[in-house]
Amino acid sequence: MTEDKFLLDKTVLFIGQQFYNYHEKIIAQLEQFGAKVFFYENKIFREDPVLNNNDLISKVKRIFNPRYKQKYIDLIINETIDENIDILFCIGGFSVNLDLLNGIKSRNPHVKTIIYFWDSFAIWPFHNLVNAFDQVFSFERLDCEKYNLRYLPLFYSDDQPGYIKNNERDIDILYVGSVGIISRNRFEVLASLRNFSEKYGLKDLLYLLYVKPRHNFIVNGINVVRSLFDRKYRTFKKDLVNYQQKYDFIYHKPLDTVELGNLFIRSKTVIDIPVQGQTGLTMRTIESLAMGCKLITSNSSIKKEAFFNDEWIQVLDEENLEIDLEFLANKPSVGIDISHLTLKNWLKSIITS
């Protein structure tokens, strides 16, 4: 057995979120390691009491379908009942509880259980799962320090043409991200960036994604009620309308990975605006540096990383957006090495822990 086939004849039950096509890349890499992989989506159940969601939709779902999450967990257990599971690997805790672990362990007492959190417990409070797994990783330093977890930043995939270094970069500032109630600060930050670009004659490409909700009688009715009783929802919708009228950086269709890669190789500097209350390095942070882009971020925790280099990374105060024009203009004199965070190396460090 070669080093890269260390999972030969092993079976992995992988429960992960469907975010772009990252779950497919993880499955493919596990299979390259030699594993047989069963995948289930880590679905978000907003009515789950663990999430402490008290919005109207969550309350209604708790009343009319209180066992929705448990039914899904039972499905996973029953569909894998005849499989000899060697590794249970979860990313996030949305579709995970003690019943799932006990159900898998009861039939596979030898199973190794691993979970990786790529959201902060301040956003999604799944710290109740920490003691249930053999190995627990997180991208959030604060959670690692508080709960004695293993710290590991996110990964990047280097299997697409966009990762070829390109010196012909025509976009001075790139931002690609999404917006929702918990991240509505991005409206104001992007407005400031647009004003900054116009003031100094810079070419920016700002892509703020807002996925419109489905329109049907039930959803429309719920949204009307939310508008009446949910102050945060009202504020978000008001901001959305106002910024859409003033700026052209709000879009409703997500970019695919090829489109995103093409934007990266055209960009000199990428802007990172993490969700408030979260200090873990975003996927955008890792991908930007891997593709030869400089990075401007409001996440000061990046200074703790071994690869931090102020020729590549500028940390700014989100409350006082002062981008250094010299940073934008200068080319780094040395490279930056984050090869330990390729998907292959990232996954190997988790599975072999």
What confidence tens digit (pLDDT) does each residue in 26-49 have?
999 999 999 999 999 998 776 666
Domain that holds residue 46: 3-155+343-351
pLDDT at 47: 61
Say whether both 48 and 132 belong to one domain: yes
Show the tokens assigned to 58.
């969550």
Provide the mean pLDDT of the chain. 87
In which residue are the tokens 């000061």 written? 300
Looking up residue 305, the CATH number of its domain turns out to be 3.40.50
Say whether both 177 and 305 belong to one domain: yes
Say whether both 135 and 199 belong to one domain: no
First to last CA, the chain: 19
Which residues in 319-350 are b (16+ Cβ under 10 Å) and which e? eebebeeebbeeeeeeebebeebbbbebbbeb
Say whether both 181 and 277 belong to one domain: yes
pLDDT at 221: 63
**Mean pLDDT of the 326-349 span:** 94
Say whether both 218 and 167 belong to one domain: yes
What confidence tens digit (pLDDT) does each residue in 132-176 have?
999 999 999 999 999 999 999 999 987 654 455 556 899 999 999
Looking up residue 37, the CATH number of its domain turns out to be 3.40.50.2300
3-state secondary structure of 40: strand
Rounded to two decimals, what is the model's pTM? 0.87
